[in-house]
A and B are shown apart, each in its own frame.
Chain A
Amino acid sequence: MPDMTDRPIDPDVDLHVPAQRAELHWPVPAAIAAGGALGALARHAAQTALPVEVGGFPWATFLVNVSGCLLIGVLMVTITEVRRAHRLVRPFLGVGVLGGYTTFSTYVVDVQRAVAAGAPVTGLVYLAATMLAALAAVAAGMWLTRRVAGVRAGAGAR
């Protein structure tokens, strides 16, 4: 088991982080709801612009999930290592906007649909490509932000 740091594993709720054990106040879920609605609309716009052909590669959901992962990497390094942010920034942007923008349920149902449409290879390629690209995007977002801000990996917010 790794050492506990003051930086969370779960960016939304990590009860090992003292600041996140605070009492729940209504502005937090309200900010999450507002951000989630905005994120879901952006995802819907992408899915409308790039509809999936039957048995085709679901590009819209792929691009949404990968871009959302790049942005969470940038956001989390910015607010945990570069500068302290207002306490509603993470609920609104991270849990709300990016959580509502990206989706896991559509990802698995996309795979299911590709298999049902007789395109199991497309489904499996999409399954693996999304996960690998998403993880690479998070790492790239974190790395780039640390480079730009000139902080070392693991440094706390100043």
Chain B
Amino acid sequence: MTVLLIVLGAAVGAPLRYLADRAVQARHDTVFPWGTLTVNVAGSALLGFLAALPAQGPVMALAGTGFCGALTTYSTLGYETVRLAEEGARFHAVANAVASVVAGLGAAYCGAALAQAL
């Protein structure tokens, strides 16, 4: 059952990451990977919210492990950061890593605060 819920959540989260990335990228013209940053921050806020409820069992499998886990990505973040550095955009590379961590943590804490306020 847990496995099925994870599969369902991930089968929605992963394509949503791709579609959100496309939508964000279509709205700006810089090399900075805003799309990945957006999905990572949104997924961190949602998982921070779920973890603070605290959501457990099937809800966590579906929405946490499955959906948030697949909506967010470290491999794309890592690759983008290394590619920016390789292209000589060292400031963008460092900014991408730092902004992802700072914004992701901030979003998770905001999500947790919202869960506690409810």
- Taking CB atoms, residues of chain B closer than 8 Å to A14 are 25
A15-B22, A69-B78, A72-B78 in contact; A37/B47 too (CB < 8 A)? Answer: no
Q: Chain A residue with minimal CB distance to B89? A: A2
Are A36 and B15 in contact (CB-based, < 8 A)?
Answer: yes
- Taking CB atoms, residues of chain B closer than 8 Å to A130 are 74
A96 interfacial contact with B, CB 8 Å: yes
Summarize B's interface: helix, strand, loop or mixed. helix
Are A102 and B74 in contact (CB-based, < 8 A)?
Answer: yes
Are A138 and B79 in contact (CB-based, < 8 A)?
Answer: yes
B35-52 contacts to A (CB < 8 Å)? 35-36, 40, 43-44, 46-48, 51
Interface footprint category on A: 35 or more
A10 contact from B33, B40, B69, B82, Cβ within 8 A: B33
B78 contact from A44, A111, A138, Cβ within 8 A: A138
- Taking CB atoms, residues of chain B closer than 8 Å to A101 are 75
Report the minimal beta-carbon distance from B70 to chain A, rounded to whole angstroms: 4
- B contacts with A, residue count (CB < 8 A): 63
Complex interface bits, A38-69 against B, C-beta within 8 A gives 1, otherwise 0: 01110110010000000000000000010011
A99 contact from B2, B22, B33, B76, Cβ within 8 A: B76
Are B25 and A103 in contact (CB-based, < 8 A)?
Answer: no
Summarize A's interface: helix, strand, loop or mixed. helix
B69-100 contacts to A (CB < 8 Å)? 69-84, 86-89, 97, 100
- State in angstroms the CA–CA spacing of A10 and B80 once bound together: 5
Are B82 and A135 in contact (CB-based, < 8 A)?
Answer: yes
A1-B31, A106-B69 in contact; A135/B78 too (CB < 8 A)? Answer: yes
- Taking CB atoms, residues of chain A closer than 8 Å to B33 are 9-10
- State in angstroms the CA–CA spacing of A72 and B9 once bound together: 22
B18-39 contacts to A (CB < 8 Å)? 18-19, 21-22, 25-26, 30-31, 33, 35-36
Are A142 and B46 in contact (CB-based, < 8 A)?
Answer: no
- Taking CB atoms, residues of chain B closer than 8 Å to A43 are 65, 69
Are B44 and A100 in contact (CB-based, < 8 A)?
Answer: no
A24 interfacial contact with B, CB 8 Å: yes
A1 contact from B10, B71, B77, B89, Cβ within 8 A: B89
Report the minimal beta-carbon distance from A77 to chain B, rounded to whole angstroms: 10
**Nearest 8 interchain pairs by C-beta:** A36-B14, A40-B10, A104-B72, A102-B74, A105-B47, A2-B87, A29-B15, A72-B75
6 contacts between A and B (CB under 8 A): A2-B89, A9-B80, A12-B17, A37-B11, A39-B14, A99-B14
**Known interface pairs A9-B84, A131-B97; 13 further A-B residue pairs with C-beta atoms within 8 A, sorted by A's residue number:** A36-B14, A40-B10, A47-B65, A65-B78, A69-B78, A76-B79, A96-B14, A99-B70, A99-B73, A104-B40, A105-B68, A108-B105, A113-B51
